[in-house]
Structure 1
Amino acid sequence: MDAATIRRLVAEGRYEFSKHAEREREADMILTTELEEALKRSEIIEDYPGDPRGPSCLVLGFSGQRPIHAVCGLRQDPEELFLITVYDPSKRPEHWMEHYRRRRR
C-alpha cells in the first residue's frame, strides 16, 4: 500500500471503519470531514507488513493544524481502505516526537 492509494480510495469514498476505529474517532471528537481531509494529504510514517490482520501502515495527515493518525489496511474485491484505528496524537504528546512522525522510545 502507498500514500497515493490511500488518497485515491478516500477521495472515492471507498473506506470503512473498524468498530475500534469508530470508537476512537468519536472519543477524540474527529469529524469524518476532518479525517478525510487528513487522509487525502497523508504520509505513511510506519509500515506493518507482518500485521496478523494483513499488511497495514500508520499514516499522519492534518486537518488544518490538527494532526490525525490512522492505521490503514487494504481490502481487495472490492478494493477498499480499512481503517483499523483513528486518533489525534496531540492528545498523547508523551508518545510522539518530530511533529507526530516518530514514537518516543
Structure 2
Amino acid sequence: MKQCTSVKFSGHALRRMFERSLSTEEVIFTIQTGETITDYPDDKPHPSELRLGWVDDKPVHVVVAQNQANNECYVITAYVPSPDIWNEDFKTRRN
C-alpha cells in the first residue's frame, strides 16, 4: 500500500472502533506502520487489504481500501484480533 494522501472512515468503521475502544490515531498508526497480511485485489470499488499493527503491546487489525487514482484510503473496519480466532502471530487464522 502506498502512503495515504488522506484517511476516511466509513460509518461502520467508526461505530466498530467506538465499540472496540480503538481511536482514529491508533487506526491511522496501524495503516502507516503495520504490515499487510491479506490482500483483497478484487474488492470494489477499490482494492483493499488487512493490515496488522501493534499499538503499545496490543495487536490491531485494520481493513483498508485505497483509491489507486489519488491514494486516498478508506477504513472499512478495525478491531483487536481475538486469540481464539487468530494464531499467536495474529497473521493467520486458527483451523
The reply to whether TM is greater than 0.5 is yes
- Where 1:97 maps in the other structure, the secondary structure is coil
2:51 to 43, 54, 59: 59
Matched residue count: 95
Task: Give the TM-score taking structure 2 as reference length.
Answer: 0.86
Partners of 2:46 and 2:29 in 1: how far apart? Answer: 25
Partners of 2:71 and 2:42 in 1: how far apart? Answer: 20
* Amino acid corresponding to residue 71 of structure 2 in structure 1: E
Q: Which residue of 1 aligns with 2:90?
A: 100
Task: Give the TM-score taking structure 1 as reference length.
Answer: 0.79
The structure that is helix-richer by fraction is: 1
| Percent of aligned pairs with the same amino acid | 34
Q: Which runs of 4+ in 1 moved over 3 A?
A: none
- Where 1:33 maps in the other structure, the secondary structure is helix
1:80 to 1:52, Cα distance in 2 relative to 1, 3 A:
closer
Contact 2:86 2:93 in 1 (8 A): yes
